[in-house]
Amino acid sequence: MIPPGEMIGILGGGQLGRMIALAAANLGYRCHVYAPEADSIAADVCAAFTQGEYDDEPALAAFAAQCAVVTYEFENVAATPLAAVTAHAPLHPPARALEVAQDRVNEKSFVEALGGRPAPWAKVDSMEDLRAAVASIGAPGILKTRRDGYDGKGQWRIVQASDAEAVELPGKPLIYEGFVTFDAEFSVILVRTEAGEVRFWDSAENVHKGGILDRSTVPASPVILAQVEEARALAAKVADALGYVGVLTLEFFATADGPVFNEMAPRVHNSGHWTIEGALTSQFENHVRAICGLPLGSTALAAKGVVMDNLIGDDAHDWPAILSDPANHLHLYGKAAVRPGRKMGHVTRLVL
Ligand SMILES: Nc1ncnc2c1ncn2[C@@H]1O[C@H](COP(=O)(O)OP(=O)(O)O)[C@@H](O)[C@H]1O
Ligand SMILES: [Mg+2]
């Protein structure tokens, strides 16, 4: 057990790290952020900050030596250099979870081996591969980079087979996925302790705009609720197979044939931000509790319902209007520059 007062290391300097650090502070911990950028909105609320590259092993080792436990808020950290971290402090979730989740081919293969069902997919490394993938899987579909994609970045929609010819391949490993006809999208967010205790939050119904999460609503619609049990069973299998400690997220499509696995994130998730006010214990606090070996808090709802809206780009300028309604819970991440498509904050409303 790592008692309050100790230092928690966080790899990654964005809003997820910021919200983990705020929850950790409430429990009496201090946090140390490690990130490559000079300005980190997570470090802004932390006791210590190391600016370093994710493959700088001496810097990672020096950072970990100052921490009682290390976690991450960003999954595109190379797994191999993390041996420099684990030599000095426990790393939760394990590096294996990163290796699986940071590559779309690995995550789909891993989940298939556990009985999960993703969209039909094929590896693409050349124009020939792409033609073959579109011929066998069909169009419409989506070509995605295997690594480093987020918020719909690194994706190309193939509406008809001939569109494949117009794609300029980016020279990175890719994957082609058949387009899933879904009724709705939802996520399963769980927390798992080292002893294997698992708790789930209510699944949010997620609506994306332009590949970016726009709104999460709890409770989800009945079509989703009917599929949550099956999706949870898969998520628990994934967590157990990885010996996972902390918060884990799986995204699903609710389809006429049941839940189709989309992707996983080995971390707290945007579709769980509603838990800060909408659940008895937030995803951030339970992540801290799990990685420190504390008892978990209840994941039960704190209201009849919750709606979380992301503030993307210019939306953040609406903060005066948002605050003029006393029922709104405003979260701004403190990012200096507003850019189109950038997550600047979110607003949560409870249905009491
Ligand atoms: N195979 C697919 N079929 C239908 N919609 C998809 C598919 N893949 C992605 N999408 C849509 O694009 C969104 C973002 O894609 P996702 O694979 O989750 O990437 P990211 O890593 O950017 O979140 C999804 O939430 C979904 O709305
Ligand atoms: Mg996604």
State pLDDT tens for residues 219-239. 999 999 999 999 999 999 999
Compute the distance from residue 211 Cα to the ligand 1 centre, in Å. Answer: 6
State pLDDT tens for residues 334-349. 999 999 999 999 999 9
- In angstroms, the CA 104 to CA 123 distance is 9
Measuring from atom 20 of ligand 1, which residue has the nearest CA?
150
- In angstroms, the CA 57 to CA 41 distance is 23
150 lines ligand 1 (CB under 6 A): yes
Mean pLDDT of 267-273: 98
**Which ligand places an atom closest to the C-alpha of 253?**
1
Q: Which atom of ligand 1 is nearest to the CA of 152?
A: 22
Measuring from atom 19 of ligand 1, which residue has the nearest CA?
152
Compute the distance from residue 146 Cα to the ligand 1 centre, in Å. Answer: 13
140 lines ligand 1 (CB under 6 A): no
Residue 63 has pLDDT above 90, yes or no: yes
Among 262, 270, 310, which residue has the most ligand 1 atoms within 8 Å of its CB, making it the best to mutate?
262
**Which ligand places an atom closest to the C-alpha of 212?**
1
Decide if 73 contacts 16 (C-beta within 8 A): yes
Q: Which atom of ligand 1 is nearest to the CA of 178?
A: 1
Q: Identify the pLDDT of residue 121.
A: 98
Q: What rounded mean pLDDT belongs to the chain? A: 97
At 50, give phi and psi (nearest 5°).
-115, 125
Measuring from atom 2 of ligand 1, which residue has the nearest CA?
179
264 lines ligand 1 (CB under 6 A): no
**pLDDT band, residue 150 (cuts 50/70/90):** confident
Decide if 131 contacts 166 (C-beta within 8 A): no
State pLDDT tens for residues 163-214. 999 999 999 999 999 999 999 999 999 999 999 999 999 999 999 999 999 9
Residue 18 has pLDDT above 90, yes or no: yes
Q: Identify the pLDDT of residue 51.
A: 98
Decide if 274 contacts 307 (C-beta within 8 A): yes
Q: Which of 302, 307, 345, 300 is nearest to 327 (CA)?
A: 307
- Could you report how far apart the first and last alpha carbons of the chain are, in Å? 36
Q: Identify the pLDDT of residue 244.
A: 98
Compute the distance from residue 73 Cα to the ligand 1 centre, in Å. Answer: 20
Structure tokens at 13: 């300097």
- In angstroms, the CA 343 to CA 287 distance is 22
Give the predicted TM-score (pTM) of the model. 0.97
Residue 152 has pLDDT above 90, yes or no: no
Compute the distance from residue 328 Cα to the ligand 2 centre, in Å. Answer: 26
Q: Which of 217, 270, 206, 252 is nearest to 111 (CA)?
A: 252
Q: Provide the residue type at 281 as one letter.
A: T
138 lines ligand 1 (CB under 6 A): no
Q: What percent of the chain has pLDDT over 70?
A: 100
- Sign of the four-CA dihedral 98, 104, 105, 109: positive
Compute the distance from residue 179 Cα to the ligand 2 centre, in Å. Answer: 14
151 lines ligand 1 (CB under 6 A): yes
Walk me through the domains of the chain, giving residue ranges and CATH numbers: 7-91 (3.40.50.20), 120-178 (3.30.1490.20), 184-351 (3.30.470.20)
Measuring from atom 24 of ligand 1, which residue has the nearest CA?
211
Decide if 251 contacts 263 (C-beta within 8 A): yes
Q: Identify the pLDDT of residue 149.
A: 87
- In angstroms, the CA 22 to CA 30 distance is 9
- In angstroms, the CA 261 to CA 254 distance is 9
- In angstroms, the CA 174 to CA 214 distance is 26
Mean pLDDT of 147-170: 91
Compute the distance from residue 208 Cα to the ligand 1 centre, in Å. Answer: 9
Q: Looking at the chain, which runs of residues are DSSP E strands?
A: 7-11, 30-35, 48-51, 69-72, 121-124, 141-145, 155-158, 174-178, 184-192, 198-200, 205-209, 212-218, 246-255, 258-265, 305-312, 329-332, 343-351
Q: What percent of the chain has pLDDT over 90?
A: 98
Compute the distance from residue 158 Cα to the ligand 1 centre, in Å. Answer: 13
Residue 151 has pLDDT above 90, yes or no: no
Residue 255 has pLDDT above 90, yes or no: yes
Q: Could you tell me where the DSSP H helices lie in the chain?
A: 15-26, 57-65, 83-86, 95-101, 104-113, 127-137, 222-242, 275-278, 283-292, 319-323
User: Residue 49 forms beta bridges with which residues?
Assistant: 33
